[in-house]
Amino acid sequence: MAENTLSIKIGGQAGKGIKSAGQMLAKLATRSGYGIYTYTEFPSVIRGGHNVTQVIIGEGEVNAPTMGCDLLIALDRETFDRHVNEVAENGVLIFDENNSLDTQKVKNSLNLCPIPLNSLAIEAKDVELLENTVAIGAATAILGGDISVLENLLNSEFENKGNELVEANKKAARLGYDFAKSKYPTLIKNILGKKADPEKQMLLNGCEAIGLGAIAGGIQFASIYPMSPISNILHVLAKYQERYQFVFKQPEDEISAINMAIGASYAGARSLTSTSGGGFALMSEGYGLAGITETPVVIIEGMRPGPATGLPTWSGQGDLQFVLHAHQGEFPRIVLAAGDIRESFFLTMKAFNLAEKYQTPVVVLIDKNICDGDQSYPIFDISNYNLDRGKITREKNDSYKRYALSEDGVSTRSFPGFGNFFITNSDEHDEEGFSSEDSNNAISQQKKRMQKLASCENNDMEKPELFGPETADVTVVSWGSNKGSILTAIKTFPNVNFLHITWMNPFPTGYVSDVLKRAKYIIDVECNYTGQLANLIAEKTGIIIPDRFLKIDGRPVFPEEITDKLSSILKS
Amino acid sequence: MTKLTDLTTKCSPNWCPGCGNLAIWGAFKNAAVQKGWDNSNTAIVAGIGCHGHIINFTRITSFEGLHGRSIPVATGIKIANHKLNVFAFTGDGDCLGEGGNHFIHACRRNHNINIIIHDNAIYGLTTGQTSPTSPHGYKSKSTPQGNPDYPLNPLALAIASGATFVARGYAGDIQGTADLIVKASEHQGVSILDILQPCVTFNKELNHTFYQKNSYKLDQNHDVKNKEIAFKKALEWGEKQIPLGVFYETDEPAYESQLPQIANNPLIDNNPERKNLTDLFDEFT
């Protein structure tokens, strides 16, 4: 393995089970006791087009994709043409021996491993669709994996689809495994051998983590209109709603999504909605409605490159300033950004508590790389989580005032049906909620609302994590999914540290300022054109970061790119 | 027991004298007294427009949202607590212009909510522009040469979109309107009540005299279960040709009655605390 990780790429036409092949390899690894990270690239079509999934396997936690790979499984010629040059020295190429590939361009150090994928698939069950499973069987052999782990996996993956399919897949895997094992004995490496008593690991993507985080965070209602890259959140919530006694509703559009969530929250349900940037544009009016009506709502915003349709199935970080500023006027908004799948889970849980505690919208930003990538983790521990519903009264009180002024800016909520009269009003309103255009009232209500942000800053805001030494030659500042690649890259740079920011509003100005003031050299890493985090830092701290490594092609920041950048900074 | 005096607030209505909203407000309060609606069992939602002011004058817990969005807010409330009587007050511009998409989807989903359209065929709060129900040729500040667009028919749209209760009232007939509000509330499923409501300030054509002269009540033999006849009646409009009453009503399971999660109690009473998720996490191993 290169630097203790092994990278496998599987590519082929969309619809040929590329993603599920990646899943199988990933689970083979996690169930054998290894950590994994997967990265998938696909176009916005269901069939046709080029799909590629990358599985990175290592000891312990694996946090990032890599540019190159050690094993390439090319299910079609396009995969070969596009990716063969990415294979490392002494790497392996598995491909169908009947695909007449231009092996002239293969470098000498590459080990060719042609396999009759198609004919073995047909031998297994007369269908070409099993080519991916044959290839996984062959890869298992080459990596020294345990075929019984793979067979158990196929049992559990396909049991819902009938015994016939289970057996066909197992046969296909076995045929690929046996063929590779007998034909290429010298290529076999002991990389994926099953460990004794491997720790049970979860394998999940960011959308799944958010769905689970919402369930753990006490969700009662979700309304989500499908959109890449967050649709998998609604798939998880729809599936588990009955078991956990909450309701998922698919509305007619994102405007309805946020307004339904606001209505449900007003009536007393912990509510969530989710969308991508385009849908958030439609939600903008509801965002401010939640602000002025002081209605809690959690909004998960999954970023992809815009504007408009943009690059719908690729990743971006272009919506930070958008969610910080969307909607007319001013209202307290809490904006958090997750840096990986685990953070997505725990920030979603936290967002529910913050939303109800401060009775205001809480946005959790994630980027597509987090939504769609899988990573393995030990089982999440939720034992420290306590549901916080904030100030709520269930008593009837004739002098109840929904928007009573208070020191921390938070008033007590009541819900319709509890006997209390109150108006929840999008017009500026007095303490009971009646529309009011009175000057003093307008000032006191707006101050009360904005006070909530100061209260949140004082009571709940967390300082960013600083990885690496307290003082360093270079300080990397970043957010979102770049975290994993930066952490991977700085392992080999003892004099580099990394400031990972998750709280965007309120903003940890003091701490960020302290870290950056003592930094000798700062590099900002983001996936947008303008350096939106760097601009936010400048706005809050006055510190300008001139050196910005910005990616705008929808691809992740790779550890290799950070390594190159750091090397060139340190050289100069 | 709800008394009329229980429903008043510190605010006096600020609608123009003679405004149809005053009559709809009166009709709603009469219906509330008749049915015992109060802060223990009812929530009202309004959009933005003259109609939306109703929340300030009615002592029942309310939510005034955004222009066009009263229906999704009402839907969220109903799902969260289906024991509540939920009324979505909206206007012709609010419901059929800005919120048209929500309207047609609410019709097909059969949430057990009551959608009450204050239909004055004009934008009153913005001082008199053409609305989606203004007649063709109608002159207003936005159509000084006459409205080149044709009006939308809320009843026909509701029936075509799958609404299970579709009715029309005339605001000036306060008792008749109150009866229709009661009927709408008793219907299990989505109820659409379009109320013809003169705007005495900006709509000089569709005034009280016009509606009194040209409306008539659907007779007792009108078959409310017959969708085709209801549709035909909904298309009627003109001199002496404006039917009032229940056009269509059919029994279909209300949305909320189809959710096993809330079969026993309202959603807000389901405990959100989930301490042990081991089984769920295991599914992701």
Residues in chain A: 572
Q: Is B169 within the bounds of a domain?
A: yes
Question: Does B265 lie at the interface with A, CB-CB under 8 angstroms?
Answer: no
**CATH number, position A87:** 3.40.920.10
Residues of B in contact with A427 (CB under 8 A): 64
Q: Which 3-state string (H, E, C) describes A396-413?
A: CCCCCCCCCCCCCCCCCE
User: How many C-beta atoms surround the C-beta of residue A322 within 10 A?
Assistant: 19
Residues A18 and A131 occupy one common structural domain: yes
Q: Do B81 and A417 touch (CB under 8 A)?
A: yes
Query: Please, what is the Cα angle at A550 between A546 and A552, to 5 degrees?
Result: 150
Smallest Cα distance from B157 to chain A, Å: 17
Nearest to B61 among A203, A264, A416 (CB): A416
Asked which of A183, A199, A215 is the last residue of a domain, the reply is A199
* pLDDT score recorded for residue A2: 42
Residue A4, pLDDT > 50, answer: yes
Question: Does B284 lie at the interface with A, CB-CB under 8 angstroms?
Answer: yes
Q: Is B144 within the bounds of a domain?
A: yes
* pLDDT score recorded for residue A48: 66
Taking CA–CA distances from A291, the nearest residue in chain B reads B65
Taking CA–CA distances from A288, the nearest residue in chain B reads B66
Residues A476 and A499 occupy one common structural domain: yes
What the block records as the tokens of B223 is 């078959």
Chain B stretch 118-157, residues whose beta carbon is closer than 8 A to a beta carbon of chain A: none
Q: How many separate domains does chain B show?
A: 1
**CATH number, position A276:** 3.40.50.970
Question: Does B58 lie at the interface with A, CB-CB under 8 angstroms?
Answer: no
Predicted confidence (pLDDT) per residue in A438-482, tens digit: 999 999 999 999 999 999 999 999 999 999 999 999 999 999 999
- Which stretches of A255-322 are assigned E, i.e. beta strand? 271-276, 297-303
Looking at residues A526-539, what average pLDDT do you find? 98
Residues of B in contact with A198 (CB under 8 A): none
Residues A45 and A157 occupy one common structural domain: yes
Report CA Rg, chain A.
26
Q: Give the C-alpha separation, B66 to B48, whole Å.
A: 6
Q: Is A405 within the bounds of a domain?
A: no
Q: Is B61 within the bounds of a domain?
A: yes
* pLDDT score recorded for residue B173: 97
Q: Which domain holds residue A57?
A: 5-199
**Where residue A1 falls among pLDDT bands split at 50, 70, 90?**
very low
Q: Do A382 and B55 touch (CB under 8 A)?
A: no
Q: Do B42 and A244 touch (CB under 8 A)?
A: no
Residues of B in contact with A418 (CB under 8 A): 39-40
When scoring B9, B64, B82, B257 by the number of chain A Cβ atoms within 10 A, the one with the most, hence best to mutate, is B64
Residues A12 and A100 occupy one common structural domain: yes
Q: Is A256 within the bounds of a domain?
A: yes
Q: Give the C-alpha separation, B86 to A314, whole Å.
A: 42
Q: Give the C-alpha separation, B269 to A220, whole Å.
A: 10
Predicted confidence (pLDDT) per residue in B170-218, tens digit: 999 999 999 999 999 999 999 999 999 999 999 888 999 999 999 999 9
Predicted confidence (pLDDT) per residue in A69-105, tens digit: 999 999 999 999 899 999 999 999 999 988 777 877 7
Smallest Cα distance from A211 to chain B, Å: 11
The answer to whether the beta carbons of residues B42 and B186 sit under 8 Å apart is no
* pLDDT score recorded for residue A342: 98
Residue A254, pLDDT > 70, answer: yes
Residues A34 and A108 occupy one common structural domain: yes
Q: Which domain holds residue B193?
A: 4-260
HSE, side-chain direction, 13 A CA sphere, residue B226: 7
Share of chain B above pLDDT 90, in %: 99
Q: Using the 8-state DSSP alphabet, how is residue A435 labeled? A: B
* pLDDT score recorded for residue B166: 98
**CATH number, position B39:** 3.40.50.970
When scoring B8, B9, B11, B39 by the number of chain A Cβ atoms within 10 A, the one with the most, hence best to mutate, is B39
Q: Is A101 within the bounds of a domain?
A: yes
Residue A15, pLDDT > 90, answer: no
Q: Using the 8-state DSSP alphabet, how is residue B1 labeled? A: -
What the block records as the tokens of A78 is 């396009």
Q: Is A272 within the bounds of a domain?
A: yes
Predicted confidence (pLDDT) per residue in B107-150, tens digit: 999 999 999 999 999 999 999 999 999 999 999 999 999 999 99
The answer to whether the beta carbons of residues B111 and B254 sit under 8 Å apart is yes
Q: Is B273 within the bounds of a domain?
A: no
Predicted confidence (pLDDT) per residue in A274-312, tens digit: 999 999 999 999 999 999 999 999 999 999 999 999 999
User: Per the confidence metrics, is the pTM higher than 0.90?
Assistant: yes
Q: Give the C-alpha separation, A187 to A73, whole Å.
A: 15
Residues A60 and A140 occupy one common structural domain: yes
Q: Is A406 within the bounds of a domain?
A: no
Residues A194 and A230 occupy one common structural domain: no
Taking CA–CA distances from B265, the nearest residue in chain A reads A245
Looking at residues A230-247, what average pLDDT do you find? 98
Q: Do A266 and B48 touch (CB under 8 A)?
A: no
Taking CA–CA distances from B260, the nearest residue in chain A reads A242
Report helix, strand or coil for A28: helix
Report helix, strand or coil for A161: helix
* pLDDT score recorded for residue A572: 86
Residues of A in contact with B74 (CB under 8 A): 263
Share of chain A above pLDDT 70, in %: 98
Residues A221 and A94 occupy one common structural domain: no
Question: Does B261 lie at the interface with A, CB-CB under 8 angstroms?
Answer: yes
For helices B154-161 and B227-235, angle between their N-to-C axes, nearest 10 degrees: 160
Chain B stretch 63-92, residues whose beta carbon is closer than 8 A to a beta carbon of chain A: 63-66, 69, 71-81, 83-84
The answer to whether the beta carbons of residues A139 and A178 sit under 8 Å apart is no
* pLDDT score recorded for residue A14: 82
* pLDDT score recorded for residue A105: 76
Please state whether beta strands A423-425 and A50-58 pair in parallel, antiparallel, or not at all (unpaired). Answer: unpaired
Q: How many separate domains does chain A show?
A: 3
Report how many Cβ contacts below 8 Å link chain A to chain B. Answer: 200
Predicted confidence (pLDDT) per residue in A374-390, tens digit: 999 999 999 999 999 99
User: How many C-beta atoms surround the C-beta of residue A423 within 10 A?
Assistant: 26
Asked which of A199, A221, A237 is the last residue of a domain, the reply is A199
Q: Do A220 and B267 touch (CB under 8 A)?
A: yes
Q: Is A509 within the bounds of a domain?
A: yes
Q: Is A311 within the bounds of a domain?
A: yes
Mean pLDDT (chain A, rounded)? 95
Looking at residues A519-523, what average pLDDT do you find? 98
Residues B64-103 as b/e (b if ≥16 CB within 10 A, e otherwise) read bbbbbbbbbbbbbbbbbbbebbbbbbbbbbbbbbbbebbb
Q: Do B77 and A416 touch (CB under 8 A)?
A: yes
- The dihedral region occupied by B146, where left means phi > 0, alpha psi between -120 and 50, and beta the remainder, is left
Residues A370-395 as b/e (b if ≥16 CB within 10 A, e otherwise) read bbbbbbbbeebebeebebebbeeeee
* pLDDT score recorded for residue A128: 65
Give A514 or A3, the one with higher predicted confidence: A514
